[in-house]
Chains A and B, each alone.
Chain A
């Protein structure tokens, strides 16, 4: 490791420039957020916009407070979070397993290809009524919807990651007499790790779509339920609040995945 004192003046200037750039980015981000929230609040206070329709940051904070006071804040958050995470985990693991099976068998891949393509392009919300009738109106129905929305992309992304593995390495494994299971374990899984990480990032976004969409169709609780309910009774504060919390949660979950990726690809 080089000591900082050993760097040339030019290099130190370069480092400083890089650091300044970073600081500018971070400050600008914070400023942008504050500006948007501030303008929104001021416009609502001065009645430039109607806070009954648009709500306002202070009303959102008040709503969070009252939800917290009557003890339902974490209940709703918990329900939606549980549905999303459960759906996400099921979609990723089952999707990964299916992708493995499809990788192992060319024939199975060819047979199932058109079905996967059709299922991928089908708007999953069209299956809403069927899901309600088959599974009911509990949160298992919503988890099922979440899985449905994200699993196809999980399968397709992971499979294309498997298939993109360097052919020379496959020949090498074959020349050592490796069977499919060994090739999977020693080569395909580690080689396709970056593809898996990408899949997780896409899947986490889709899982949120699935769970909130599920709650729109059937639910008695959750953030999606609050949004729909708030819309129906014209409590836009509630709608905005739930949306705001969703932003935080979705961003947080993405952050966790990004952190895992950093750890894994180190």
Chain B
């Protein structure tokens, strides 16, 4: 579980101070997939950094449940000098948990999600979508409870994006992880999430929250559902675009 309670955050630079987030309140329940959408530059990445504790809030409190965080970034950030397998083991090495048992668990995950034939390849031999899947398995290898996703599909071309979107949602759901995604893509948020939190422009605060419960559980069936377009319109208006 993750709860933002009256969170404010101010950036300090030589040029002055900028309030990125002000009086932010929302909750991510265990096992829930929550998306945060907002206009560009509204401090979405800041929210993830606050969630992970990389930044301390200026005021308010972030309440974290049990378990660790795993970060998934806009770009895959795979290390080109390591094989796919080596990349997946990276968090284990960094967190000093590089035991045979943990490595076996990580490999099991990789094989379960179709990376078996790619383990000995280098990232440069993989397609963009495949690389992002490796990045997700790398994140999961450290066995986090909550995944923080920072626009992980934005660097992909449209077709790959739809595929990877399905992919990631399926893997996260079947591993029963909690996820917090920030994005500026409305349709992505609707397709993936159990709940969408809409933010205002900077300083970001919550405008509305929507539970999404139509169209079954896969992004594909959601997109095909009739309510998709209606929800899209509502969110679009709330974002003021």
Q: Is B truly associated with A?
A: yes
- Chain A residues near B (Cβ < 8 Å): 166, 168-169, 171-178, 182, 186-187, 190-191, 193
Nearest chain B CB to A164 CB, angstrom units: 14
Once the chains bind, are A190 and B81 in contact (CB under 8 Å)?
yes
Cβ of B74: which chain A residues have Cβ within 8 Å of it?
A: 168
Once the chains bind, are B95 and A172 in contact (CB under 8 Å)?
no
Once the chains bind, are B75 and A168 in contact (CB under 8 Å)?
yes
Cβ of A174: which chain B residues have Cβ within 8 Å of it?
A: 54
Query: B69: CB under 8 A from chain A?
Result: yes
What residue of chain B has the Cβ atom nearest to residue A167's Cβ? B77
Once the chains bind, are B52 and A187 in contact (CB under 8 Å)?
no
Once the chains bind, are B95 and A187 in contact (CB under 8 Å)?
no
Once the chains bind, are B52 and A175 in contact (CB under 8 Å)?
yes
Q: For the complex, give the distance between the alpha carbons of A193 and B79 in Å.
A: 13
Output the residue of A172, A182, A191 with the most chain B CB within 10 A: A172
Once the chains bind, are B94 and A182 in contact (CB under 8 Å)?
yes
B94 touches which of A166, A171, A186 (Cβ 8 Å): A186
27 residue pairs of the A-B complex, CB under 8 angstroms, read: A168-B73, A168-B74, A169-B77, A169-B79, A171-B71, A171-B73, A172-B71, A172-B73, A172-B77, A173-B94, A175-B52, A175-B54, A175-B69, A175-B70, A175-B71, A175-B73, A175-B148, A176-B71, A176-B90, A176-B142, A177-B94, A177-B95, A186-B93, A186-B94, A190-B79, A190-B81, A191-B81
The 7 A-B pairs of least Cβ separation, nearest first, read A175-B71, A172-B77, A168-B77, A176-B94, A178-B94, A169-B77, A190-B81
Query: B215: CB under 8 A from chain A?
Result: no
Q: For the complex, give the distance between the alpha carbons of A186 and B79 in Å.
A: 10
Cβ of B94: which chain A residues have Cβ within 8 Å of it?
A: 173, 176-178, 182, 186
Q: For the complex, give the distance between the alpha carbons of A190 and B52 in Å.
A: 27
What residue of chain A has the Cβ atom nearest to residue B80's Cβ? A191
Nearest chain B CB to A147 CB, angstrom units: 30
Q: For the complex, give the distance between the alpha carbons of A38 and B50 in Å.
A: 74
Once the chains bind, are A187 and B79 in contact (CB under 8 Å)?
yes
Query: B91: CB under 8 A from chain A?
Result: yes
Q: For the complex, give the distance between the alpha carbons of A190 and B95 in Å.
A: 19
Q: For the complex, give the distance between the alpha carbons of A166 and B123 in Å.
A: 16
What residue of chain A has the Cβ atom nearest to residue B148's Cβ? A175
Q: For the complex, give the distance between the alpha carbons of A140 and B113 in Å.
A: 61
Cβ of B69: which chain A residues have Cβ within 8 Å of it?
A: 175
Cβ of A178: which chain B residues have Cβ within 8 Å of it?
A: 94
Cβ of A175: which chain B residues have Cβ within 8 Å of it?
A: 52, 54, 69-71, 73, 148
Output the residue of A166, A177, A191 with the most chain B CB within 10 A: A177
Q: For the complex, give the distance between the alpha carbons of A32 and B97 in Å.
A: 61
Cβ of A166: which chain B residues have Cβ within 8 Å of it?
A: 77
Q: For the complex, give the distance between the alpha carbons of A176 and B69 in Å.
A: 8
Once the chains bind, are B90 and A186 in contact (CB under 8 Å)?
yes
With A175-B52, A177-B94, A186-B93 already in contact, the answer to whether A191 and B79 are too (CB < 8 A) is yes
Nearest chain A CB to B49 CB, angstrom units: 9
- B61-77 vs A, CB cutoff 8 Å, 1 = contact: the mask equals 00000000111011101
Q: For the complex, give the distance between the alpha carbons of A168 and B54 in Å.
A: 15
Known A168-B74, A171-B71; 18 more pairs at CB < 8 Å: A168-B77, A171-B73, A172-B71, A172-B73, A173-B94, A175-B69, A175-B71, A175-B73, A176-B90, A176-B94, A176-B95, A177-B95, A182-B94, A186-B93, A186-B94, A191-B79, A191-B81, A193-B81
Nearest chain A CB to B125 CB, angstrom units: 15
B45-60 residues at the A interface, CB under 8 angstroms? 52, 54
Cβ of A169: which chain B residues have Cβ within 8 Å of it?
A: 77, 79
What residue of chain A has the Cβ atom nearest to residue B48's Cβ? A175
- B215-230 vs A, CB cutoff 8 Å, 1 = contact: the mask equals 0000000000000000
What residue of chain A has the Cβ atom nearest to residue B68's Cβ? A177
Nearest chain B CB to A35 CB, angstrom units: 44
Nearest chain A CB to B43 CB, angstrom units: 16
Q: For the complex, give the distance between the alpha carbons of A182 and B95 in Å.
A: 10
What residue of chain B has the Cβ atom nearest to residue A193's Cβ? B81
Q: For the complex, give the distance between the alpha carbons of A176 and B95 in Å.
A: 7
Q: For the complex, give the distance between the alpha carbons of A141 and B94 in Å.
A: 44
Q: For the complex, give the distance between the alpha carbons of A190 and B148 in Å.
A: 27
Cβ of A168: which chain B residues have Cβ within 8 Å of it?
A: 73-75, 77
Nearest chain B CB to A195 CB, angstrom units: 13
Cβ of A173: which chain B residues have Cβ within 8 Å of it?
A: 94
B140-187 residues at the A interface, CB under 8 angstroms? 142, 148
Q: For the complex, give the distance between the alpha carbons of A186 and B87 in Å.
A: 11
Q: For the complex, give the distance between the alpha carbons of A8 and B90 in Å.
A: 44
B81-109 residues at the A interface, CB under 8 angstroms? 81, 90-91, 93-95
